[in-house]
Amino acid sequence: MTYQAHFKVWRGDKDGGRLVDYEVEVNEGEVVLDIIHRLQATAAPDLAVRWNCKAGKCGSCSAEVNGRPRLMCMTRMSVFDQAEIVTVTPMRAFPVVRDLVTDVSYNYATARAIPAFVPPPGLKPSEYRMRQEDVDRVQEFRKCIECFLCQNTCHVVRDHEENKAVFAGPRFLMRVAELDMHPLDAAAEAGIDRKRAAQEQHGLGYCNITKCCTEVCPEHIKITDNALIPLKERVVDRSYDPLVWLGDKIRRRRGDTERH
């Protein structure tokens, strides 16, 4: 079954652009990325698009299809009515490089600001032991393909560029949660306070658990329920724990004394 579809594709660069109309052939079983490739092979040879695997695993082909953030390679044409206009635009939360390609370097800079897993002192990797439930939790978060659709969707940065400086976004708050819940992470012994950083450096308080990030995750990771809400609970527990509060106060006093 072959038919002609009506596509509108955003063409332009950082200085501006517009939606361009295309009539393009669609064959049975094709996905949106196939159609974009057909346009490159026919009417729009200079159309810029980023992709790698065409299997939903590299996270490169993120865009907005009819306004919804999606992987183009995992969006079947059969979900649209044949008469429906299919509009493809670049992710809105990141600056456009050209056409459907955006500059996602905010995400890489944010990733670098999160201290890595700290191995437990005195234990060799072959001696690490974890309970199955801890392994399962980490496994869910590790399914992330870094497509940044959740980052693109979160209203905290989608319409507020200025918040990028103070908000890590769902993907990276999930990373903080993953490390903070990791039973073998020895960050605290190394002087790294992940909960405090979540709140004060990565902007956890900006998240009002709307779950929009979870809705668009192609890996079906329960970002809000399994990472963000537990992280918020852990931060609150820490704030209200009188021993932690006292320890912090003493540490801060010592710091002040040492500085004087």
Binding site for ligand SF4 (CB under 6 A): 144-150, 153-154, 156, 170-171, 207-213, 216-219, 221, 223-224, 228
Residue 26 engages ligand FES in binding (rule: CB under 6 A)? no
3-class SS at 121? coil
- Residue 44 is classified by DSSP as -
Q: Where are the beta strands (DSSP E) in 28-154?
A: 62-65, 68-71, 85-89, 96-98, 101-102
Write out the binding residues for ligand FES, residues 70-99 only, by CB under 6 A: 71, 73
Residue span binding ligand FES (CB under 6 A) among the ranges 6-14, 45-53, 171-179, 219-227: 45-53
Which stretch of DSSP H or E encloses residue 253? helix 242-259
- Select from ligand FES, ligand SF4, none the partner in contact with residue 168, using the beta carbon and a kind-dependent cut-off of 5 to 8 Å: none
Residue span binding ligand FES (CB under 6 A) among the ranges 49-57, 97-105, 117-125, 157-165: 49-57
d(C-alpha 12, C-alpha 47), whole Å: 9
Q: Is the distance from CB of 176 to CB of 198 less than 8 angstroms?
A: yes
Farthest-apart Cα atoms in the chain, separation: 79
Please state the closest distance from residue 15 (CB atom) to ligand SF4, in A: 28
Residue 52 engages ligand FES in binding (rule: CB under 6 A)? yes
Residue 43 engages ligand FES in binding (rule: CB under 6 A)? no
Please state the closest distance from residue 188 (CB atom) to ligand FES, in A: 36
Which stretch of DSSP H or E encloses residue 19? strand 16-27
Q: Position 230: which residue type?
A: P
d(C-alpha 229, C-alpha 236), whole Å: 11
Residue span binding ligand FES (CB under 6 A) among the ranges 52-60, 77-85, 120-128, 153-161: 52-60
Residue span binding ligand FES (CB under 6 A) among the ranges 47-55, 81-89, 127-135, 196-204: 47-55
